[in-house]
Structure 1
Amino acid sequence: MTPTSTSGADRCNNLALRKAARYLGATYDRALAPVGLRGTQFSILQRLGAHGEMTISTLADTIAMDRTTMASNLKPLAREGLVTVEPSATDRRARVAAITPDGRSRLQAALPLWNAVQVRFEESFGTDEAARLRTSLTAVLDTGFQPWAE
């Protein structure tokens, strides 16, 4: 193996992760399209539905996304009336996102579509392997990098 061989690309963690993320992400996006959601939007609604209102920064942290990207992802959801984004009552610098009743309805409509992809993936990939994959990917978040540090 020489330093110029393509095996370096074959060992690139970033490329492998992004390829898999695009592949699986597009699968979820396609499945959720009938209810007008993308995978990221579903995840945002799911988090807000489970945890109630959250600051944009906290919501971004729970999804491992930078705050600016989260704010951009919230805009179409707010335009559709699925979430609200308001100034915090306790910290004027912070903005709080909350799911609306329409957002909860859309989330409920999306859940069976999301679940169908979950089941199909686990049947194809393996239930135990999918659980190990989620555990490994969660562990990646604890490797000490600070991609969004200011």
Structure 2
Amino acid sequence: MTRTAADGVGSCNNLALRKAARYLSATYDKALAPTGLRATQFSILQHLSQHDEITITSLAETIAMDRTTLATNLKPLAREGLVTVEPSATDRRARMVTITPDGLARLQAALPYWRTAQAQFEDSFGSEKAAQLRAALEDVLSTGFHPWAE
């Protein structure tokens, strides 16, 4: 039997997306390195800065990440004093995440590096194409899959 690209990785949406994601993640990681943050940590702090406190479950849903992976990513941030993770006052089963003043300061220090990486990508890729890419990727989240549902 003759194999074609359609039979394999050449047409795999997941592989194409992961390759691009690794490429961009490494670019943002490199840009953010002077601040000691990785791109994922920056994104978590950025989301937390928009909330007084949020449950791990809600934060995971907001950034489309499973709870276990999010909890793993929160540990170094908590060790560095950039976030706190504590039981909820109203539901002891829920864990609340809050950005600390040190976390806000680190986020502020990282913003110029992030803006530079963002601008370089948009200059190279095109601002309109970048906006279309973000919209298309957001649409992926509405395809009806439930990857973290039990």
- Whether the TM-score (by the shorter chain) exceeds 0.5 is yes
Secondary structure of 2:89 counterpart: coil
Distance in 1 of aligned mates of 2:147 and 2:50: 26
For 1:66, the equivalent position in structure 2 comes to: 66
Q: Which runs of 5+ in 1 are unaligned?
A: none
For 2:17, the equivalent position in structure 1 comes to: 17
Report deviation, 1:51: 2.1
Secondary structure of 2:96 counterpart: strand
Q: What code does the residue aligned with 2:70 have?
A: M
Distance in 1 of aligned mates of 2:130 and 2:15: 20
Distance in 1 of aligned mates of 2:2 and 2:145: 26
Q: Deviations over 1:41-94 (max 9, x none)?
A: 000000000122110000011110001111111000000000000000111100
Q: Deviations over 1:9-54 (max 9, x none)?
A: 2111000000000000000001111000000000000000012211
For 1:132, the equivalent position in structure 2 comes to: 132
Secondary structure of 2:50 counterpart: helix
Q: Which runs of 5+ in 2 are unaligned?
A: none
**TM-score, normalised relative to structure 1:** 0.96
Please tell me the root mean square deviation across aligned C-alpha atoms, in Å: 1.1
Secondary structure of 1:50 counterpart: coil
Q: Percent identity?
A: 70
Within 5 Å, give how 1:1-150 maps onto structure 2.
4-7=3-6, 8-150=8-150
Q: What code does the residue aligned with 1:28 have?
A: Y
Report deviation, 1:4: 1.4
Q: What code does the residue aligned with 1:46 have?
A: Q
